[in-house]
Amino acid sequence: MLPKIIMTPEDIRRTLARMAHEIIERNKSIENLVLVGMRTRGVPLARRLAATIASFEQAEIPVGALDFSLYRDDLARLDLQPIVKSTDIPVNIDGRTIILVDDVLYTGRSTRAAMDALIDLGRPEQIQLAVLIDRGHRELPLRADYVGKNIPSSRHEDIQVKLTETDGLDEVAIIAQSSLKEGQQ
């Protein structure tokens, strides 16, 4: 089965613009914001959101990158150890409002790990969550504050987000897992 494209580059651009507006609307003092992207694809999304907010509000918002591999709850169960990359957040997060940014919200376990990783770095005033895609199937009591698109999906499907910075093009596709496996062979 061929991947079904559910977001085009133009869709992604408009969605991020709307999310940027929502972030501004909800946070009165945007000087206090720090956008933190969850590696890998959360990082370019955080940069784009920050640039969009900057173009609306003439304010520079610091952007950081968070690697949460060392906080995962499934290290012992994975066949392949995730490759650990550095966390790089340019400002002290104490007292700041952090917006965690990720591409897909699924079980919520990555978000849990990312929040633990953040809290080891300091004591933010607030943590909010922004995701491009919410595909459901939560295993933890979490929800996103800003959602680009809700995609009700089956567990047998895979949501593939591609971004120019990491994959050479912007696209969100839904793939049946059997065809994903074929593609990987």
Partner 1 sequence: MRQVQQKDTLTVKPEAPPLLWRHHHILDLDDFTLEEIELVLKTSDAMKEVLSRAIKKVPALRGKTIITLFYEPSTRTRTSFELAAKNLSADVVNLSAGTSSIVKGECLIDTLSTLEALGADIVIMRHPMSGAPYIAAKYLKASMVNAGDGWHAHPTQALLDLYTIREHKGSLKELKVTIIGDIKHSRVARSNIWGLTTMGAKVTLCCPFTLLPAGLNHRQDQFPKVTIEASIEHALDGADVVMALRLQRERQPSGLLPSIREYVRLYQLTESRLAKAKPDVIVLHPGPVNEDIEIASSVARGPRSVINEQAANGVAVRMALLYLLAGSRQL
- Residue ranges that bind partner 1, judged by CB under 8 A: 40, 67, 69-72, 75-76, 78, 80-88, 116-117, 120-122, 166-169, 183-184
Nearer to partner 1, 57 or 167 (CB): 167
DSSP string for residues in the chain: -PPEEEE-HHHHHHHHHHHHHHHHHH-S-GGGEEEEEETTTHHHHHHHHHHHHHHHH-----EEEE--GGG-S-TTT-SSPPPP---B-SS--TTPEEEEEEEEESSSHHHHHHHHHHHTT---SEEEEEEEEE----SSS---SEEEEE----TTEEEEEE-HHHHSS-EEEEEEHHHHHHHH-
Q: Taking the complex as a whole, how short is the minimal distance between the CB of residue 117 and partner 1, in angstroms?
A: 8
Nearer to partner 1, 124 or 146 (CB): 124
Nearer to partner 1, 51 or 175 (CB): 175
Q: Taking the complex as a whole, how short is the minimal distance between the CB of residue 133 and partner 1, in angstroms?
A: 19
Q: Taking the complex as a whole, how short is the minimal distance between the CB of residue 96 and partner 1, in angstroms?
A: 15
